[in-house]
Amino acid sequence: MADEFSRIADYFAPLAGAEGLGLLDDAAVFTTPAGRELVLTVDQMLEGVHFLTGDAPDLIARKLLRRNLSDLAAMAAVPVGYLLTTALPPGIGEDWLEVFAQGLRQDQDEYGVRLFGGDSSSAQTHISLSATLIGHVAPGAALRRNGARAGDLIWVTGTIGDAALGLRARRGELADATGFLTRRSLLPSPRVGLGLSGIVSAAIDVSDGLLQDIRHICKTSGVAARIEESLVPTSAEAAAFGREMLEARLTDGDDYELILAVPPENAAALRHACGSLQVTEIGVFLDGEPDVEVIGIDGAPIVFTKQGWRHF
Amino acid sequence: MADEFSRIADYFAPLAGAEGLGLLDDAAVFTTPAGRELVLTVDQMLEGVHFLTGDAPDLIARKLLRRNLSDLAAMAAVPVGYLLTTALPPGIGEDWLEVFAQGLRQDQDEYGVRLFGGDSSSAQTHISLSATLIGHVAPGAALRRNGARAGDLIWVTGTIGDAALGLRARRGELADATGFLTRRSLLPSPRVGLGLSGIVSAAIDVSDGLLQDIRHICKTSGVAARIEESLVPTSAEAAAFGREMLEARLTDGDDYELILAVPPENAAALRHACGSLQVTEIGVFLDGEPDVEVIGIDGAPIVFTKQGWRHF
């Protein structure tokens, strides 16, 4: 394995924007676009926690960026760049790094971001990665979690629960003949660039699980929520596993879809903003304790044993 | 152990600035001060790589911030905030986190930075940490590594080599009766706020080792360097171990002092900018191949077996 300076020169410097100063300096220098506020977020991906040993390095790289891009999407921010940390154990060689860098390149091109800088280290046993994403937004236009009001409708983008079942497929626990669920688990589609400012009153991305993430809005906004099982958008591939997988679909997370609080009069504007992207009304925010009630297909509330993903 | 949401609420939310939105949102929102450029850097600290298992958590937290603050200092940037990632294995409890957060608080107050956001995860076996530091600088005033010219003198702040011997003391390999060397290893002093823009032509902080870091300037600036062993500022505690430790002192790194390329006519301005901080001329940049020659006390060049710290 080449040392860190060779790794940076060979694999990461070609990914750097002008802000990265060739990855040859102590830090990056970035000029914030005039009249814009910065939006900053960081997420980790750790071997054995966020991805499986042996997962394809390009997909790991792309999911690392996409999880963070999803956080920017939930703030309605325009992504521009990122800082990357890599800590690689002795078993990880040039071949891994080359494919990892290819994945970064692919999603840099896809989402219009460039590498600003980073830190490259050795690790003892497990791969550990993080990305700090930098975006910008018009002053005051960042979408917050705390803006939901009683009466706002709950909308979600895309379909919910595919990643939960995809992870099970990757572990060999269920069949995924088409590979659709597996792809949704390995490579989420962050919903950047929808232009939701002024249309939605609160937003969050689904990382911890639909119910948990709605609950995050409830807590910060001081509202209750009620959704209907029958309205939650579900792919045909996920629906095929039936209600047995309902709890997994609603609580496992990793979907990276957006949950939106939308005043009823903005429904048409929302649909227009989302264009061809599926967006579905699944419930309503209400006055009350900050919790989520799920009404089942029989009209009775469902009690789940698990609330959603959390790190202990 | 409480789950991640309790950890964030109990230990990290009290450290957050307004930009952090209470650590209750998807990302931080930061308004760049008018007419300033942003400076961004990230560094990791991994158990068993950058710190020893059992090191005091408050010192780990402070060194994590200080290593990054040193990168900002090397760019002449004013630090304002940071994003933090923590990945903690099952054995790490509330007591560890409480002291870790106290360390963050202490250096937030010391250096005038606040927490903007972060990511809290579980880990399998080892603690892994990172901090992304955000600072700002007047347009064009960031100190680069590539500005050194033949004829510029090489100056360094503080003393060099204490951390190298301090690490050996912490491993029980040598005696450190006063604890000075150990403290220098555990808690570096980043040289922020010196106001070096316009005085120095290039700067870097000593993280990889004095010789390696001078070589980084040589490579990016296209110059050679020559320093004199007798001029390298050495604490009495480090000097007591004699020339036997010379290579360790010059190549092990972790000093977080600044190496500065200074046009001869700016020496007085440099001394004035550094105030009571020790600053020492140790050599000169020259035309030639990008490498560093060390002239020993006998007047002959010294050949070292090790170039400096690097991660493989």
Express each pLDDT in A273-292 by its tens digit.
999 999 999 999 999 999 99
What's chain B's average pLDDT?
95
* Separation CA A90–CA A113 (nearest Å): 30
- Residue A136 pLDDT greater than 90, yes or no: yes
Express each pLDDT in A141-178 by its tens digit.
999 999 999 999 999 999 999 999 999 999 999 999 99
pLDDT at B308: 67
- Residue A308 pLDDT greater than 90, yes or no: no
> Domain boundaries in chain A?
4-137, 153-302
Amino acid letter, A61:
A
Which superfamily, per CATH, for B153-295? Answer: PurM-like C-terminal domain (3.90.650.10)
Express each pLDDT in A47-86 by its tens digit.
999 999 999 999 999 999 999 999 999 999 999 999 999 9
Tokens 């020492």, located at residue: B280
Task: List chain B residues with CB under 8 Å of A256.
Answer: none
Contact: B29, A38; criterion CB under 8 Å? yes
What's chain A's average pLDDT?
95
User: The pTM is what?
Assistant: 0.94
Searching chain A, which residue's CA lies closest to the CA of residue B84?
A42
Tokens 């800088």, located at residue: A117
Judged by DSSP in three states, A272 sits in helix
Express each pLDDT in B82-112 by its tens digit.
999 999 999 998 999 999 999 999 999 999 9
Nearest neighbour of A128 by CB, restricted to B41, B87, B203: B87
- Residue B312 pLDDT greater than 70, yes or no: no
CATH number, span A153-302 = 3.90.650.10
Architecture of the domain spanning A4-137: 2-Layer Sandwich (3.30)
Task: List chain A residues with CB under 8 Å of B39.
Answer: 27-30
Percent of the residues in chain A that have a pLDDT greater than 70, as a whole number: 97
What is the mean pLDDT of the segment spanning A230-255? 96
Contact: A29, B41; criterion CB under 8 Å? no
Q: How confident is the model at residue A1 (pLDDT cuts 50, 70, 90)?
A: low
Contact: A40, B30; criterion CB under 8 Å? yes
Task: List chain B residues with CB under 8 Å of A128.
Answer: 44, 46, 87, 123, 128
C-alpha distance from A298 to closest chain B C-alpha (Å)? 33
According to DSSP, the β-strands at A128-137 and B114-122 are: unpaired
Q: How confident is the model at residue B310 (pLDDT cuts 50, 70, 90)?
A: low
- Residue B2 pLDDT greater than 90, yes or no: no
The Cα-based distances of B144 to A90, A116, A268, B7, B206 in angstroms read: 32, 15, 51, 38, 14
Task: List chain A residues with CB under 8 Å of B309.
Answer: none
Contact: B117, A77; criterion CB under 8 Å? no
Contacts of B287 (CB under 8 A, 6+ apart): B150, B223, B224
List the one residue out of B128, B122, B117 whose CA is nearest residue B13.
Answer: B117
C-alpha distance from A28 to closest chain B C-alpha (Å)? 5
Contact: A41, B27; criterion CB under 8 Å? yes
**Contact (Cβ atoms closer than 8 angstroms) between residue B72 and residue B135:** yes
Distance from first CA to last CA of chain B, Å, rounded? 34
**Contact (Cβ atoms closer than 8 angstroms) between residue B132 and residue B33:** no
Express each pLDDT in B175-212 by its tens digit.
999 999 999 999 999 999 999 999 999 999 999 999 99
- Determine which helix (DSSP H) or strand (DSSP E) holds A128, and give its type and residue range: strand A128-137
Express each pLDDT in B211-247 by its tens digit.
999 999 999 999 999 999 999 999 999 999 999 999 9
Contacts of A210 (CB under 8 A, 6+ apart): A156, A160, A161, A227, A232, A249, A250, A251, A253, A255, A259, A308
Best mutation target, A132, A191, A260, to test chain B (most B CBs within 10 A): A132
Nearest neighbour of B49 by CB, restricted to A19, A40, A122: A122
Contact: B41, A48; criterion CB under 8 Å? no
